Amino acid sequence: MSPKITTELLKQLRQVMKSPKYVQEPVQAYIVPSGDAHQSEYIAPCDCRRAFISGFDGSAGTAIVTEQHAAMWTDGRYFLQAAHQMDNNWTLMKMGLKDTPTQEDWLVSVLPEGSKVGVDPFIIPADQWKRMSKALRSAGHDLVPVKENLIDMIWTDCPQRPCKPLITLDLSYTGVSWRDKIVALRSKMAERKVLWFVVTALDEVAWLFNLRGSDVEYNPVFFAYAVIGMNTIRLFIDGDRMTDPAVREHLQLDSTLDPEFKIQVMPYGSILSELQAVGAGLSPKEKVWLSDKASYALTEAIPKAYRYLTPYTPICIAKAVKNASETEGMRRAHVPKGTVTEIIAADKAEEFRSQQKDFVELSFGTISSTGPNGAIIHYKPVPETNRTLSVNEIYLLDSGAQYKDGTTDVTRTMHFGTPSAYEKECFTYVLKGHIAVSAAIFPNGTKGHLLDSFARSALWDCGLDYLHGTGHGVGSFLNVHEGPCGISYKTFADEPLEAGMIVSDEPGYYEDGSFGIRIENVVLVIPAETKYNFKNRGSLTFEPLTLVPIQTKMIDVNLLTQKECNWVNDYHQKCREVIGAELERQGRHEALRWLIQETEPLIRVQ
């Protein structure tokens, strides 16, 4: 993997940072976040500005370019990848390590007095702007909005913004109509005494209207905003996709509806001027509800006195708590409709997934890594790095798909020969952490970050750890990474877990230059029966939705407790019952024999 040569690009960027054609005043630093105008984690090619200027294309990272320096902040998932993809013009800032400065501290240390730091106001979230602006101002610098995105000014062959057809979802998939979702949203608005609600996150727009798209690879979303009033609905979207008869019928665009359900379709690019008009027409005490993660540009369109900002919107919360139809769909999505053994190469896994009923696309780029490539947490095989699978190395496969009835994400780690004692030891510590989370019983109201140390305890006991969170929320035929819940030491702002939420459980261990280990299931939060019920608050636990055997030859059974052995055996029994029945029904006898072999009970010697 050769790094991208960025000398000429950085020279061009530094020129436009000083050009009166693009900036009112020269900026001494320019920030290039990794998101888009909707603050998405996964973005369309036209929004990959940070990858364009630096060469680093991981899903998380922020580039900052000054007149003399270029620096990249990213987290532990991407330390190795970023180091490989960036040339020596760049300094890698390893977030989470104690000697790594924050972006603000670094800027203060390298900038001349009274500098201006520029950023595209549509790409930076309002909460991040507020935090960064305050820190820079206290040191005598100014954070300034730059109307024209400066990367776009030098990106001569930037791809067009996608505008692909939409998919309509009926009640069998969604459980609730879009009209009923609007009613529920307006009820929440009335509780908070707000007149307007601005929907900026792509997955929230898709969920609200029971629509899906394919504008962003692996995420069934489309570029749109929505503004919901107490009596109006405005959908900001481009292209001829709204002429599709199925979409028009789904949204009842040609029907005679009560005015409060009549959708006004408006150009995607008119969102800012429309919000400014809403802001200008507000009376005292009238409020507009936005996420504090909406862009600074859209947030500023509403005068400060009229804003009602929250970290998570009611749509975000409602979307995370799956209803009965969504939960059943997620269960179906995790039962193979063909033979998916998870022990084959990534292209074969994709081929098999694509043969399943209701398949739409993958839910992320398959991570198929053997030996030292496995230590690159979000590794993607390319011809230059492609290694042949062998009987001498650990193989890690992290794959998933989007189906109309749900979203999947599963990781299994396996060895095709004989694993070493050390490899088995490390695998077993990871498994113990996976079980600790999956089997945990915890009170209602518990936030996911409190469970993160459960997954790490066995590793910590031996002086090992991993540099990523333990779990993320999972959408229902939506983004594979979904807020507001998760299991991670990195945030304390997550929402409490509640029954119906779906998250991943994926501890790991990565030995640089040797191997990577991760075990991941998607799990459903369910009520737990306990002997007592302190303060009548109730308890929760997890039910695994993913049903794929965990390779038993990688397990050092002597390191497991009897309770942990029982968990593995019970899990494998469920794999036999659910997946075995489906394979039997299909007449897939070879796959069934493999399943039986891989789920033989563990026996722990006393």
The predicted model gives 48-64 an average pLDDT of 96
pLDDT at 370 over 90: yes
Rounded Cα distance, 32 and 34, in Å: 7
* Residues counted in the chain: 606
Rounded Cα distance, 434 and 523, in Å: 11
Q: What are the φ and ψ backbone dihedral angles of 330, each rounded to 5 degrees?
A: -65, -35
Q: What is the pLDDT of residues 74-93, one digit of tens each?
A: 999 999 999 999 999 999 99
The predicted model gives 167-176 an average pLDDT of 96
Distances (CA, A) of 421 to 427, 556, 557, 605: 10, 8, 12, 17
Spell out the residues 6+ positions from residue 106 whose beta carbon is closer than 8 angstroms to its own: 64, 71, 93
The DSSP secondary structure of 142-201, one letter per residue, reads: EEEE-SS-HHHHH-TTPPPPP-PPPEE--HHHHSS-HHHHHHHHHHHHHHTT-SEEEE-S
The predicted model gives 149-161 an average pLDDT of 97
* CB-facing half-sphere around the CA of 490: CA atoms within 13 A: 18
pLDDT at 46 over 50: yes
Q: What are the φ and ψ backbone dihedral angles of 207, each rounded to 5 degrees?
A: -65, -45
The DSSP secondary structure of 244-267, one letter per residue, reads: -HHHHHHTTTTS---GGGPEEEE-
Q: Are 192 and 449 in contact (CB under 8 A)?
A: no
pLDDT at res. 387: 86
**Own/partner pairs for 176-179, CB < 8 Å, 24+ apart?**
176/323, 176/325, 177/210, 178/208, 178/209, 178/210, 178/250, 178/251, 179/261
pLDDT at 492 over 90: no
Q: What is the pLDDT of residues 14-32, one digit of tens each?
A: 999 999 999 999 999 999 9
pLDDT at res. 494: 79
Rounded Cα distance, 406 and 56, in Å: 31
Determine the 3-state secondary structure of 468 from DSSP. coil
pLDDT at 585 over 60: yes
How is residue 231 written in tokens? 């009596």
The predicted model gives 557-565 an average pLDDT of 97
pLDDT at res. 341: 31
pLDDT at res. 493: 66
How is residue 205 written in tokens? 């727009």
pLDDT at res. 2: 86
The predicted model gives 169-198 an average pLDDT of 97
Q: Are 477 and 404 in contact (CB under 8 A)?
A: yes
Rounded Cα distance, 307 and 288, in Å: 5
* CB-facing half-sphere around the CA of 571: CA atoms within 13 A: 26
pLDDT at res. 348: 63
Instruction: Indicate the helix (H) or strand (E) that contains 332.
Output: helix 324-333
Q: What is the pLDDT of residues 386-441, one digit of tens each?
A: 888 888 999 999 999 999 999 999 999 999 999 999 999 999 999 999 999 999 99
Strands 62-66 and 29-32, sheet pairing: antiparallel
pLDDT at res. 384: 80
**Cα end-to-end distance, the chain, whole Å:** 49
Torsion sign across C-alpha atoms 368, 373, 379, 385? negative
How is residue 597 written in tokens? 């072999």
pLDDT at res. 339: 37
The predicted model gives 464-482 an average pLDDT of 96
Provide the β-strand partners of residue 410: 399
Region of residue 304 (phi > 0: left; psi between -120 and 50: alpha; otherwise: beta): alpha
pLDDT at res. 383: 80
pLDDT at 375 over 70: yes
The predicted model gives 308-332 an average pLDDT of 94
Q: What percent of the chain has pLDDT over 90?
A: 87
Q: What percent of the chain has pLDDT over 70?
A: 97
pLDDT at res. 309: 95
Spell out the residues 6+ positions from residue 302 whose beta carbon is closer than 8 angstroms to its own: 275, 278, 279, 282, 288, 290
pLDDT at res. 317: 95
pLDDT at 512 over 60: yes
Rounded Cα distance, 596 and 520, in Å: 21
The predicted model gives 5-19 an average pLDDT of 97
Q: Are 352 and 338 in contact (CB under 8 A)?
A: yes
Q: What is the pLDDT of residues 330-352, one digit of tens each?
A: 998 887 654 343 235 556 666 76
Three-point CA angle 445, 451, 457, nearest 5°: 155
pLDDT at res. 345: 54
Alpha carbon of residue 476 to chain centroid: 13
The predicted model gives 595-603 an average pLDDT of 95
Q: What is the pLDDT of residues 123-141, one digit of tens each?
A: 999 999 999 999 999 999 9
* Confidence grade of residue 39 (pLDDT, cut at 50, 70, 90): very high
Rounded Cα distance, 563 and 578, in Å: 23
Average pLDDT of the chain, as a whole number = 94
pLDDT at res. 1: 61
pLDDT at res. 196: 97
The predicted model gives 484-504 an average pLDDT of 90
The pTM score is 0.87
pLDDT at res. 63: 98
How is residue 75 written in tokens? 């987290």
Determine the 3-state secondary structure of 586 from DSSP. helix
* CB-facing half-sphere around the CA of 396: CA atoms within 13 A: 29
* Residue with the larger pLDDT of the pair 453 and 490: 453
pLDDT at res. 239: 83
